[in-house]
């Protein structure tokens, strides 16, 4: 039977010890990747201890730095009023007529309430969802006129 579990896209940098040396095979085993993937990482900027000796060894601190830098490079910060569209894979604004806000009575800390901002991507029409607080929603309501709904405790 085929294994259908989906691999995570990002690797947890904390799975390796910072002061240990790892070969490509060990790195591949820790992160459940193929050794060719680790070789690709080397071409992308993963520094080995000594290029002349084989097997190539990499310090754990270097693996952590590389993976954190790689994750940071792929991040796309959102501006006010933007959503991340999973279909377009980039930040997008919502269609104004599809924008709605739902504030629940669930608390976020002592003073704020949970809010869901829903919309539709302006480019592809994909439904969008943004988890927020009622404090941030007030600023959005001032800028745009959107459908507002207060939901009681479910």
> How is residue 12 written in tokens?
């947890």
Average pLDDT, the chain: 84
Q: Looking at the structure, do residues 68 and 91 belong to the same domain, yes or no?
A: no
Domain limits for position 52: 13-74
Find the mean pLDDT for residues 26-50: 94
Own/partner pairs, 4-10, CB within 8 angstroms, 24+ separation: 7/32, 10/67, 10/71
24, 40, 74 — which closes off a domain?
A: 74
* 154, pLDDT greater than 50: no
> Longest C-alpha distance within the chain, in Å?
66
Number of domains in the chain: 2
For residue 143, pLDDT over 90 is answered with no
Q: Where are the beta strands (DSSP E) in 2-126?
A: 21-23, 57-59, 82-85, 90-93, 100-108, 112-120
Whether 132 and 86 share a structural domain: yes
Q: Is residue 6 part of a domain?
A: no
88 and 141 fall within a common domain: yes
pTM of this structure = 0.62
Cα separations in angstroms, 2 against 5, 6, 32, 101 = 9, 12, 16, 42
In a domain, 7, yes or no: no
At residue 53, the pLDDT reads 87
């Amino acid at each position: 039977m085929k294994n259908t579990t989906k691999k995570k896209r990002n690797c947890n940098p904390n799975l390796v010890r910072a002061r240990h040396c790892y070969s490509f095979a060990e790195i591949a085993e820790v992160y459940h990747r193929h050794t060719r993937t680790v070789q690709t990482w080397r071409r992308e900027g993963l520094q080995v201890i000594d290029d002349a000796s084989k097997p190539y060894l990499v310090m754990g601190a270097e693996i952590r730095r590389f993976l954190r830098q790689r994750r940071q490079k792929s991040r796309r910060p959102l501006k006010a009023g933007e959503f991340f569209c999973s279909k377009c894979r980039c930040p997008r604004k919502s269609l104004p007529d599809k924008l709605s806000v739902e504030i629940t009575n669930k608390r976020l800390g002592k003073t704020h309430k949970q809010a869901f901002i829903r919309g539709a991507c302006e480019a592809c029409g994909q439904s969008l969802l943004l988890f927020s607080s009622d404090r941030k929603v007030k600023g959005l309501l001032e800028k745009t006129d959107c459908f507002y709904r207060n939901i009681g405790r479910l």
